[in-house]
Amino acid sequence: MTQHTDATTTPSASGPLSGVKVLDLSRFIAGPLCAQILADFGAEVVKVERPSGEDSRHHGPYWQGESIYMFLYHRNKQAATLDTRHPKALGILEDLVRWADVVVENFRPGTIDKMGIGYERMKELNPDIILVSISGFGQTGPDSERALFDAISQASSGLMSMTGEPDSKPTLSGTYIADYTTGYQGAIGAMAALMHRDRTGEGQLVDIASFDTMFSALGTRLIAELMLGMEMPRSGSRDLLTAPVNVYEAADGPIYIQAGTASLFPKLCRAMDRDDLAADERYATVEGRMADQETLEAIIQQWSGGLERDDISARLDAVGVPYAKVASVREVAASPQIAARDMIVEAEHPVHGTIRMPGNPIHMEKTPPVVRKAPPSVGEDNDHVYRDILGFDENEVARLRAEGAI
């Protein structure tokens, strides 16, 4: 079942963040995703972008003339335009900061200070403001002013060196994993700061770096290096610490089998009708299986290659071995599990019609995330933001439009 909303009107927000006001000055992925998560849980989010639209609106692929980037990271937001170089822009930004509880930005450190709306100025305007600053390398440190995109984060943090086959060059992840993870960390930081403010009345700066986020996710390899001085090589699709674990080719496609633990390996042997392998002393321990995993993998591949994935799946289900058919994006999007988890949501856009988007993966019993509004077109909500939120009269809004300020 998909969530579905009519976005020709803006339903009133509900949820745990209802009443929280967020000014979204960010662009691309990490910052907009952070603000969208807050919006999904009921925050009122005003996204400000230049009159021609933020950079990602001009990146393909396009659907009905609109970049699909916008469909991914901007639902439940009110879209307003503002030329930040216009003489009246700073005053408008200051009004929006006074209105907001949280500001989200992901410019290079120092940029908002040059715009005249840095954190110190924000605190003068709104003493309990929460500023979520998302950047490549953070607000401090020798690399703080360097530019960074997702791939640079993967390369600089160590993640890329871990990814790929042992005899190949380091490989980029198949998705923008650094941006996504950083966006979620930003939302966590914003919500923690809101809780602190509720208790103390104090706002604060939340400093989120993509580099830090990826470094913190290096897992076992990081601790092995720090505490054991051990450098673990790239392992492809194998598990770092157990075997046999890998992708195997069935007669009709790839399947991933995880049978590296002491309890799972005998079960895999049973599914393969190879109890002799389970009884072999060479494979009685993890260390033994790791030492001879190429031999084991060749045996498993010979078995899997003569069967279709459904047959392998049935055999592994029967003995309790974890596995997964390696699914394409099209296959997983059409799966019953995605439907059962409401992980594809829909919204009706007044111009573009039905928009399909990934759902929010945070499932809550009492206060689930809700899609109230489709991702907006450029400046779609200018009247609401400038007249209803900031209190400008109709003539002032018309003048701002005529002057090219909005």
User: Of 7, 74, 70, nearest to 45 (Cα)?
Assistant: 74
Kind of pairing, strands 344-349 and 353-358?
A: antiparallel
Residues facing 131 on adjacent strands: 103, 205
Which residue(s) pair with 256 in the sheet? Answer: 247, 324
Q: In Å, how far are 146, 246, 401 from 258, measured between CA atoms?
A: 40, 7, 60
Instruction: Kindly state the tokens that stand for 291.
Output: 């030492």
SS3 for 333-375, per residue? Answer: HCCHHHHHCCCEEEEEECCCEEEEEECCCCCCCCCCCCCCCCC
* 127 residue type, one letter: P
Q: Is 310 among the catalytic positions?
A: no
Burial category of 254 from C-beta neighbours within 10 Å (exposed 0-12, middle 13-18, buried 19 and up): middle
CA distance 340 to 102: 34
Beta bridge partners of 357: 345
State the catalytic residue, choosing from 40, 101, 179, 381. Answer: 179
Euclidean distance between CA atoms 33 and 277, whole angstroms? 48
Nearest to 67 by CA among 375, 317, 293: 375
CA 44 to chain centroid, in Å, comes to: 20
* 3-class secondary-structure state, position 46: strand
CA distances from 143 to 109, 110, 153, 212 (A): 10, 13, 12, 12
Give the Cα separation of 197 and 217 in Å (integer): 28
The token duo for 378 is 């450029």
* Residues with Cβ within 8 Å of residue 402, at least 6 apart in sequence: none
- What does DSSP assign to residue 248? E
Active site residues per annotation: 179
